[in-house]
């Protein structure tokens, strides 16, 4: 079973949340044969999930941590070695290579498509930081939450979803 993690960039999560996450992942590994975990980047939620899965891998060596890149289609051996210090594999999906500004959205779509189960930390009240006014923009813009875009996509794809924000 393949599991993907997608969540908000900035979160305040405590030890009880970490314990809940660990129990959920152990259940998925032991009861549903979850063996491959897909990670993105640039989010507190992904970082926490990677820490917990890495911890669990010591007890369950059959599980794999895969970093799905949204940048750098071609990486040096040194950078690959660096990534493989935290993950068991890394790749960039074909649809992401020429996606430009949509690279992170396309990467998340790929992770959702590949997964049997999507674990989200999606809070419908979360708002990303405002983008500052610039020469081209007179007002500050409220960007869309990438997690919201991914969550809505997972629903449209009729994926099995666990939203940990709802439990926290």
CATH of residue 33's domain is 3.40.50.450
Does residue 100 fall inside a structural domain?
yes
Residue 69 within a domain:
yes
| Structural domain for 23, as ranges | 2-163
Q: What is the pLDDT along the chain (168 residues), one digit of tens a residue?
A: 999 999 987 777 788 899 999 999 999 999 999 999 999 987 889 999 999 999 999 999 999 999 999 999 999 999 999 999 999 999 999 999 999 989 999 999 999 999 999 999 998 876 666 666 566 655 555 457 789 999 999 999 999 999 998 655
β-strand pairing of 160-163 with 117-121:
parallel
Task: Note the pLDDT of residue 142.
Answer: 46
Q: Decide if 168 is inside a domain.
A: no
Q: What is the pLDDT of residue 131?
A: 60
Give burial (CB, 10 Å; 0-12/13-18/19+) of 147.
Answer: buried
What pLDDT does 141 receive? Answer: 55
Model's pTM, two decimal places? 0.88
In a domain, 78, yes or no: yes
Question: What pLDDT score does 3 carry?
Answer: 98
Judge whether 116 lies within some domain: yes
Count of domains observed in the chain: 1
């Amino acid at each position: 079973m393949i599991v993907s993690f997608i969540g908000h960039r900035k979160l305040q999560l405590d030890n009880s949340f970490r314990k809940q996450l660990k129990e959920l992942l152990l259940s998925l590994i032991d009861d549903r044969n979850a063996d491959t975990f897909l990670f993105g980047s640039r989010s507190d939620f992904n970082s926490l999930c990677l820490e917990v899965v890495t911890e669990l891998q010591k007890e369950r060596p059959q599980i794999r941590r895969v970093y799905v890149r949204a940048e750098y289609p071609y990486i040096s051996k040194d950078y690959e070695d660096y990534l493989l210090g935290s993950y068991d594999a890394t790749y960039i999906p074909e649809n992401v290579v020429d996606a430009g500004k949509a690279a992170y959205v396309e990467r998340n779509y790929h992770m959702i498509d590949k997964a049997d189960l999507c674990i989200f930390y999606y809070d419908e009240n979360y708002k990303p930081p405002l983008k500052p006014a610039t020469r081209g923009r007179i007002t500050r813009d409220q960007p869309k939450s990438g997690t919201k875009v991914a969550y809505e996509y997972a629903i449209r794809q009729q994926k099995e979803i666990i939203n940990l924000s709802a439990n926290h």
